């Protein structure tokens, strides 16, 4: 969620959604058995904002072919419920959670995130974190609606709490990142940052961002900590492939009405260590209707999911 969302409670429909059978990985492009799938997914208030939202979220997990989901807005129960349905493993605290095909052998926590060490079937391990950063003030509004200067925007970012939040998480991750870069278990950081990336708001792409170039400090901090942005590794040109994750149901500021909503990439899958990015996409299923006509959407959330596959 980011500032300006208009959230609506939606009753669950009685109809049962048919889901993909089984829980075996469908896999990414190609047939590399060593490939590991990581997803960042904002669940939009635990899947409650569309009819049969939990079942639709389950259907996406099953069909994605991914192995671990970093989730936000889980409402304290969604990941555990999905783990029970799938026969997977979960680490659920507050509105953030990890949902994993593989057993969790160690757990970590920061103010706005959780992490886990996973034990893969072949003896390898992976460390995965997810975070949900503060949503207000929202930088693209400062730029596109309020026409602030770049320095004013950066000052507001610093005061938002997001920079302190990501730095605190990165400090807890630092030993794991160091070990990953020395050949240990690879590390992955997923999350809804509620802020764009400096890799997107470039001079070449400024026409897509209200004429601005901004070095967004949350993404800069992640890069300086030694983590790479998998989506931009797989899709280097932000003009050709913007990868926007906010928002498939807010084309306008109020959903279907109001000013054009700034469309941006605020959800991420970062990584460090020996894992190599094979592919990364921003995914939405079906053709979501905008708010307030979203109740019947196949896609259960107001964000696109980031789906990245790795091999190592």
Q: Is residue 27 part of a domain?
A: no
Mean pLDDT over the full length of the chain: 91
Q: Is residue 283 part of a domain?
A: yes
User: Cα separation of 99 and 53, whole Å?
Assistant: 17
Q: Residue 225: is its pLDDT beyond 90?
A: yes
Over residues 18-42, the mean pLDDT reads: 59
Q: Which residue has the higher pLDDT, 190 or 10?
A: 190
Q: Residue 51: is its pLDDT beyond 90?
A: yes
Over residues 168-176, the mean pLDDT reads: 98
Q: Is residue 10 part of a domain?
A: no
The domain in which residue 189 lies consists of: 36-311
Q: Which residue has the higher pLDDT, 12 or 273?
A: 273
Q: Residue 2: is its pLDDT beyond 80?
A: no
Tokens of 139: 């930088």
Instruction: Give residue for tokens 């304290």.
Output: 76
Q: Is residue 52 part of a domain?
A: yes
Q: What is the pLDDT of residue 27?
A: 52
3-state class percentages of the chain: helix first, strand second, coil last, to nearest 5: 25, 25, 50
How confident is residue 153, by pLDDT bands cut at 50, 70 and 90?
A: very high
Q: What is the pLDDT of residue 52?
A: 98
pLDDT more than 90, % of the chain: 88
Q: Residue 292: is its pLDDT beyond 90?
A: yes
User: Which among 234, 224, 250, 213 has a CA at the least distance from the CA of 282?
Assistant: 234
Tokens of 63: 């069909």
Sheet holding 305-311, edge to edge: 89-93, 96-100, 68-72, 35-42, 305-311, 276-283
Q: Residue 137: is its pLDDT beyond 80?
A: yes
Q: Residue 113: is its pLDDT beyond 70?
A: yes
pLDDT more than 70, % of the chain: 89
Q: What is the pLDDT of residue 15?
A: 29
Q: What is the pLDDT of residue 73?
A: 98
How confident is residue 4, by pLDDT bands cut at 50, 70 and 90?
A: very low
Q: Residue 136: is its pLDDT beyond 50?
A: yes
Q: What is the pLDDT of residue 22?
A: 30
Strands 104-109 and 125-132: unpaired
What residues form DSSP beta bridges with 255? 252
**How many domains are there within the chain?**
1
Q: Is residue 303 part of a domain?
A: yes
Phi, psi dihedral angles at 131 (to 5 degrees)? -135, 155
SS3 letters across the chain = CCCCCCCCCCCCCCCCCCCCCCCCCCCCCCCCCCEEEEEEEECHHHHCCCCCHHHHHHHHHHHHCCCEEEEECCCCCHHHHHHHHHCCEEEEECCEEEEECCCEEEEEECCCEEEEEEECCCCCEEEEEEEECCCCCCHHHHHHCCCCCHHHHHHHHHHCCHHHHHHHHHHHHHHHHHHHHCCCCCEEEEEECCCCCCCCCCCCCHHHCCCCCCCCHHHHHHHHCCCEEHHHHHCCCCCCCCCCCECCCCCECCECCCCECCCECCEEEEEECCCEEEEEEEECCCCCCCCCCCCCCCCCCCECEEEEEEEC
Q: What is the pLDDT of residue 3?
A: 43
Q: Residue 208: is its pLDDT beyond 90?
A: yes
Q: Residue 200: is its pLDDT beyond 60?
A: yes
Q: Residue 20: is its pLDDT beyond 60?
A: no
Q: Is residue 31 part of a domain?
A: no
Q: Is residue 20 part of a domain?
A: no
Sheet holding 187-192, edge to edge: 104-109, 113-119, 125-132, 187-192, 267-272, 228-229
Residue 93, domain CATH: 3.60.10.10
How confident is residue 17, by pLDDT bands cut at 50, 70 and 90?
A: very low
Geometric angle at alpha carbon 232, from 291 and 224, rounded to 5°? 110
User: Cα separation of 311 and 34, whole Å?
Assistant: 6
Over residues 235-249, the mean pLDDT reads: 98
Q: Residue 33: is its pLDDT beyond 60?
A: no
Q: Is residue 17 part of a domain?
A: no
Over residues 291-299, the mean pLDDT reads: 98
pTM here?
0.91
How confident is residue 25, by pLDDT bands cut at 50, 70 and 90?
A: very low
Q: What is the pLDDT of residue 24?
A: 37
């Amino acid at each position: 969620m980011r500032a300006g969302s208009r959230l609506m409670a939606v009753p669950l429909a009685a109809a049962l959604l048919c889901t993909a059978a089984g829980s075996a990985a469908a896999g990414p492009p190609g047939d590399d058995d060593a490939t590991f799938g990581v997803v960042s997914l904002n669940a939009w208030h635990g899947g409650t904002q569309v009819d049969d939202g939990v079942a639709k979220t389950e259907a996406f997990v099953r069909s994605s072919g991914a192995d671990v989901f970093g989730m936000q807005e889980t409402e304290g129960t969604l990941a555990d419920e999905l783990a029970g349905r799938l026969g997977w493993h979960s680490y659920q605290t507050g509105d953030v959670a990890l949902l994993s095909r593989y057993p969790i052998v160690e757990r970590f926590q920061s103010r706005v995130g959780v992490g886990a060490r996973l034990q893969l079937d072949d003896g390898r391990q992976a460390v995965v974190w997810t975070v949900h950063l503060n949503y207000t003030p929202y930088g693209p509004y400062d730029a596109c609606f309020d026409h602030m200067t770049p320095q004013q925007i950066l000052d507001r970012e610093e005061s938002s709490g997001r920079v302190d939040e990501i730095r605190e998480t990165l400090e807890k991750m630092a030993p794991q990142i160091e070990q990953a870069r020395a050949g240990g278990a690879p590390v992955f950081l997923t999350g809804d940052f509620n802020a764009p990336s400096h890799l997107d708001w470039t001079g070449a792409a400024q026409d897509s961002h209200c004429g601005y170039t901004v070095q967004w400090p949350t993404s800069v901090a992640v890069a300086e900590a030694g983590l790479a942005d998998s989506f931009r590794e797989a899709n280097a040109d932000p003009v050709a492939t913007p990868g926007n994750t906010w928002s498939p149901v807010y084309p306008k500021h109020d959903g279907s009405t109001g000013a054009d909503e700034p469309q941006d990439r605020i959800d991420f899958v970062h990584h460090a260590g020996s894992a190599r990015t094979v592919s990364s996409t921003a995914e939405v299923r079906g053709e979501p209707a905008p708010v307030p006509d979203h109740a019947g959407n196949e896609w259960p959330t107001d964000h696109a999911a980031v789906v990245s596959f790795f091999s190592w």
